[in-house]
Amino acid sequence: MEILEQGYYYHIYNRGNNKEKLFLEHSDYAYFLLLFKKYIHEIANVFCYCLMPNHFHFLIRIKEIEEIFSYELKQKSFSQSFSNYFNAYTKYFNHKYSRNGSLFQERFKRKRVENEIYLKYLIHYIHMNPVHHEIVENFESYTYSSYQTLLRDHPTLLERENVIDLFEDKENYIYTHRQKARLVFIQNLIKGD
């Protein structure tokens, strides 16, 4: 398993055990993001995310040690913060829905992002997930993704300016996402034949 290292970007993802749903109600999605803020925001910058009914994706950058204020967190492995995060959500979910056992398939997956081209690809990929999995026809209407938040002006923990700068400006961010959506739509049509 790849070690999370400071200063690097990672695609973090996982799914429910046996492809079971991780989120059954709106409040589950909201609590998952609240726990993200509690456990992960101190150690990582988040660039985008998408929470699907049975899996999730985050694009993050692990902060440099100097950027982390908590002495305790500086002493832990970054993976431990993620483990604590997923364990906290599992306890919440199991208690709420009177279930037992593991909620997530296995250890969370992580893939290091090596260049800017792949970074931009992942932002599209993550935001297109609801269309790819045929949850919605229009990715822009999906509630549990960072796409719309990155376009708004209200306060956010997302790295909004950095994401928009990757695409030069908001107009190009929107344009490239819509172009990618057309490709995903065509791929889904072909797959359906």
Please write the tens of the pLDDT for every residue from 24-59.
999 999 999 999 999 999 999 999 999 999 999 999
Answer whether residue 188 shows pLDDT above 70. no
pLDDT of 182 reads 79
Please write the tens of the pLDDT for every residue from 63-83.
988 887 765 665 567 888 999
pLDDT of 151 reads 95
Answer whether residue 193 shows pLDDT above 60. no
Round to whole Å and give the CA distance between 11 and 110: 5
Round to whole Å and give the CA distance between 165 and 74: 29
pTM higher than 0.95 for the full model? Answer: no
Angle of helix 26-39 versus helix 78-96 axis, rounded to 10: 150
pLDDT of 68 reads 77
pLDDT of 39 reads 94
The ranges assigned to domains in the chain are 9-192
pLDDT of 105 reads 87
CATH 3.30.390.10 is right for the domain spanning 9-192: no
Mean pLDDT of the chain: 91
Please write the tens of the pLDDT for every residue from 143-157.
999 999 999 999 999
Round to whole Å and give the CA distance between 147 and 173: 10
What residues pair up with 173 in beta bridges, in sequence order? none
- Give, rounded to a whole angstrom, the gap between the first and last alpha carbons of the chain: 37
CA angle 175, 176, 181 (to 5 degrees): 100
Round to whole Å and give the CA distance between 191 and 130: 16
